[in-house]
Amino acid sequence: MQDLINRRFPVLDKGFVELQDMMGDDLAIVNAARVSFLGESKGEDRDKKLLFYLLRHEHTSPFEMVEFKFRLRCPLIVWWQLVRHRTANLNLQSGRYTPFEEDDFYVPQIWRRQSESNKQGSEGQIDPNDGDTLTQALLQHYDQGYKLYKQALQAGVAKEQARLFLPGFSVYYTGVWKMDAHNLMRFIRLRVADDAQWEIRQYANVIFEVFKQALPWTAEAFEQYQLKRD
C-alpha cells in the first residue's frame, strides 16, 4: 500500500493522478460491517466472502468507511466533470494566487469527430491533415492568449483579472480530490463507460488501477457485480 502513496501516474499530455493519502483497506470494510454484532475479522476466507456479499447485495455504508485522497492535475474540461460528482471533497489551485505557466494548456493528440448517435459524444477522428492544421491553430491561440495574460500582469493588472485572457477550458489546474470507496466505485462505473468523454475516461482508468491495488477484494467484487453487469 505504501508504494502507492505519492506515486505519480501520468495522464494526457501534462496531467497526472497521485494518491496522496488513504484511510482504511478491505478489512476495514469488513470490520465496519461486523460492528453491528461487535465482531471483527474471522479469517481471510470468511472476510472476503462477507465483503462480496455486501457488494452483491448493495450494502453500501461499510464501503463509505474507506477514503481516498488524490492530487490531480487536469485541464478544466476534466475538472468540470469531476465536480459533477458532488459526494467528493475538493480544493483547486487558484489563479488569484499562483500565476499560470506558458505550457499550462492541454493539447489533444487527435481531433475526434462528432458522434452522430450521441449529441454529447464523439467517435473516430477527423482527417489527420485537418487535425494538424487545427493543432497549429490551437497552439497559436494559446500563445496569443498567454502573451496577453503576461502583458496584463506586467501592466500591474491583478492575477484574478489577468487570467481572463487565458483560453479557459484547456488550462490545467492542480487540485486535491477526496472520495469514499462507495462513491468512488460509482464514479469509476460512470466515467470508464464508453459514452463518457475520452479525457475523463483516461483519469478514471488510472484511478481505477490505483483502486484495484489499494482494495483488491473490493475491486474484484466491483468488477464482478457492477462493471460486468453494466
Q: Is 201 a catalytic residue?
A: no
The pLDDT tens digits along the chain (230 residues) read 678 999 999 999 999 999 999 999 999 999 999 886 556 777 889 999 999 999 999 999 999 999 999 999 999 999 999 999 999 999 999 888 888 998 899 999 999 988 888 777 888 888 999 999 999 999 999 999 999 999 999 999 999 999 999 998 899 999 999 999 999 999 999 999 988 999 999 999 999 999 999 999 999 999 999 987 66
Considering the candidates 84, 86, 191, 229, report the single residue annotated as catalytic: 191
User: Can you say how many angstroms the Cα of residue 15 is from the centroid of all Cα atoms in its chain?
Assistant: 10
Q: With DSSP H G I counted as helix, E B as strand and the rest as coil, what are the percentages for the chain, rounded to 5?
A: 50, 20, 30
Residues sharing a CB contact under 8 Å with residue 108, sequence separation 6 or more, in sequence order: 135
Nearest to 134 by CA among 164, 170, 188: 170
Class of residue 36 by CB neighbours under 10 A (exposed 0-12, middle 13-18, buried 19+): exposed
